[in-house]
Structure 1
Amino acid sequence: MHKKNRHNQGYNFTALVKAHPDLLQFIIKNQYNNQDTIDFANPQAVKALNLSLLKSEYHVKFWDIPDGYLCPAIPGRVDYIHHLQDLLAATPKTLLPNKTPINVLDIGTGASCIYPILGQREYDWHFVASDVDPISIKVAKHIISADKSLNRNINCRLQPNSNHIFNGIIAEDEFYHLTICNPPFHSSLAEASKGTTRKIKNLNKGNHSSKNQDKTLNFGGQKAELWCPGGELAFIGKMIKESKAYQKQVLWFTCLVSKKDHLSKLKLSLKKSDAKQIKVIDMAQGQKISRFIAWSFYDIN
């Protein structure tokens, strides 16, 4: 994990239960090391863990999402935020005026609105949080409205056309220092279901749980969150094509890439689009390696 990630040392369940006592009922023992953990296949347990983390570490008192929506793992999500800050720190100051707030666009924010919440709390960034799903936007607005500082710094917008990414969201007079995105990476519902089942199986190795393990979609996720025609490669490809029209309004476009094999094609697309800067930034969370691709049409050097 990033050195600034406050979850580097794992979960302090004593502190988490103190912040949110409802978590206690979900704590179980890992059979390999006898450490406290939860059943990550149980969406209620994951939701309780997230609320505990948000309360204890980020001073967010209210956070709730409907059943069936993606419940994000906070340590991995905040890692992306810290690496984005590093990207900005390495950017010439002439492109980052001191008194200007950092403006960030989150593509596909989901009902959880997790990236804007974490980015606002860690770095006081200003966000526009967009999504194609009206329910996600409604829930995100409800979460944000419960906290004054979040409500002041996060603006939720519905993308009216699912064929568009930036078009319809970025206004003519707006400038963003960053765009961020956790894209849908499956190409079909069947593929998404298979991937979710595999993820749950891997996460629950060593956990004692009496619950029924046939919970293939308990990780949650609506269609727009988990899959789209052509999967991740097609989605990011569309993002690259659209980004050219907004090259003067965005300093750094970024997007998570789950499949390393996609990087060569994405880099080629970016070169064809005349991007002046292309970076791939690796992130490690335990044994898991993830990454995001970043590009800019500004002459960063």
Structure 2
Amino acid sequence: MKRKSEPQASTESGNGDDRRLQKKVPRGQAPISNNERMHPRSMHRDGLDYFDLGQRFPEFNKYVYVNRFGGASIDHGDPDALRALTRALLLHCYQLRWEIPSGYLSPPVPSRANYIHYVADLISGTDSEAGDASDVTLLKGPDVRGVDIGIGANCIYSLLGARLYGWRMVGTEVDAAALELAKANVDRNDDMRPLVDVRLQTDASHIFQGVLNDDERFAFSVCNPPFHDTIDKAHVNPQRALDGSHSELVCDGGELGFISRMIAESQERPKQIVWYTSLVARLTTLKEIKRRLAEAGIAARREFTLYQGKQTRWVIAWTFHGEAERQQEIDRLRSPSTQPRQQQQEEALGQGGSAGQAAESERAFVSFETFEHDGTAGG
């Protein structure tokens, strides 16, 4: 679809508030998208502005306004706007029904999908940075098991992993109320129920212990640890919406403390998970984690850079499996498992699928010039 840039489009939101047309980004500051620096398989590399998404989802359209460049923007300091955006994107791009109440974080969908794509390359032994990760070489299907640490209320990584690659996910969470909301998001999607299992971590001092059975084996783990070590530090920037629970925003030692504990627990169970991974928000944290991993007796380490808007984040990955062991695991998992729904839709369209199928799986991509969270967990 072509980008619709007519300024009058935002007046169709239904609330009649023309004051939104006066909102502007700072003079001389061009919007930054970095879309082209996202993962090569990302659905969000090509931009289509909020006007188009708003026309499809009226509940999102009411938050859209015209910026000084004639494009569409929303107030990223408004948690309601971010929830509406996340809800619309997940349904339109990934056919996922999703809801969370106020008081919990709305995840930036393109960044979260970016992470999942890099994990797919990692466990499949491909090099996505060089662009040679072809679809046929990727490990897919329910035989591939992953652990999602700290799913919050949204369960975003588990849902995207199951949707994009058909993986079977175990999602863990220390907040019992958030876990129930995450389970509700799984239950909203009938085809996700067999693929996503959510488990309560009753001891916040542990990460893997207490939620994973000793006889379980996984290809990978993913995690977005709490960024801050105190709640006061979580609300220092009023332009960002951090409408999150305490466990999503804060943990003992912040992200460095959390990932350090993850490294220590991974040493206690070196062969239960092939690739341990975590999102990292600070470059200083990344440098320190790499130093600690060098002392942890790991077999290999990988690092990926995630771009979205003005934001840069990193994924750090480590394994205790040697190269030969990792290849054996890849060979074991590489089988014609059940294809993810998205791939089935694309193949159906390529074989002359109906217009209804085309409408359902059509990709609409939004340009994210400023959508970012600083210091979040739970997706």
TM range (shorter): 0.7 to 0.9
Shift of 1:158: 0.6
Alignment of 1:179-198 (within 5 A): 179-194=221-236, 196-197=237-238
Equivalent residue, structure 2, for 1:114? 156
CA distance in 1, matches of 2:141, 2:111: 29
Shift of 1:262: 2.0
Question: Aligned with 1:152: secondary structure?
Answer: coil
Contact 1:19 1:55 (8 Å CA) reproduced: no
Contact 2:299 2:318 (8 Å CA) reproduced: yes
Alignment of 1:115-154 (within 5 A): 115-154=157-196
CA deviation profile, 1:200-259 (whole Å, cap 9, x unmatched): 2xxxxxxxxxxxxxxxxx421112111112111111111100111221110000001111
Equivalent residue, structure 1, for 2:42? 5
Question: Aligned with 1:234: secondary structure?
Answer: helix
Farther off after superposition, 113-122 or 8-17: 8-17
Among 210, 216, 219, the alignment partner of 1:174 is: 216
Equivalent residue, structure 2, for 1:81? 116
State the superposition RMSD in angstroms: 2.0
CA distance in 2, matches of 1:281, 1:97: 19
Alignment CA distance shift 1:97-1:142 (3 Å): closer
Alignment of 1:60-71 (within 5 A): 60=96, 62-71=97-106
Equivalent residue, structure 1, for 2:75? 39
Alignment of 1:19-34 (within 5 A): 19-31=56-68, 33-34=69-70
Question: Aligned with 1:127: secondary structure?
Answer: strand
- Count the aligned residue pairs: 277
Shift of 1:14: 4.9
Give the gaps of 5 or more residues in structure 2: 1-37, 127-137, 325-379
CA deviation profile, 1:11-61 (whole Å, cap 9, x unmatched): 443542354221121111122x1211211111111111111111111112x
Contact 2:229 2:253 (8 Å CA) reproduced: yes
Give the gaps of 5 or more residues in structure 1: 201-217
CA deviation profile, 1:45-83 (whole Å, cap 9, x unmatched): 1111111111111112x3111211111110111110111
More contact order relative to length (CA 8 Å, sep ≥ 6): 2
CA distance in 1, matches of 2:187, 2:49: 29
Alignment of 1:298 with 2:321, yes or no, is yes
Contact 1:20 1:55 (8 Å CA) reproduced: no
TM-score normalized by structure 2? 0.69
- Output the amino acid matched with 1:144: V
Alignment CA distance shift 1:121-1:167 (3 Å): same
CA distance in 2, matches of 1:30, 1:9: 20
Shift of 1:135: 0.9
TM-score normalized by structure 1? 0.86
CA deviation profile, 1:103-125 (whole Å, cap 9, x unmatched): 11010111011111111111111
Shift of 1:265: 2.4
Query: What fraction of aligned residue pairs are identical, expressed as a percent?
Result: 34
CA deviation profile, 1:247-296 (whole Å, cap 9, x unmatched): 11100000011111123321232232211111222222244321111000
Question: Aligned with 1:26: secondary structure?
Answer: coil
Among 79, 85, 88, the alignment partner of 1:52 is: 88
Contact 2:49 2:71 (8 Å CA) reproduced: no
Decide which structure has the larger Cα Rg and report it: 2
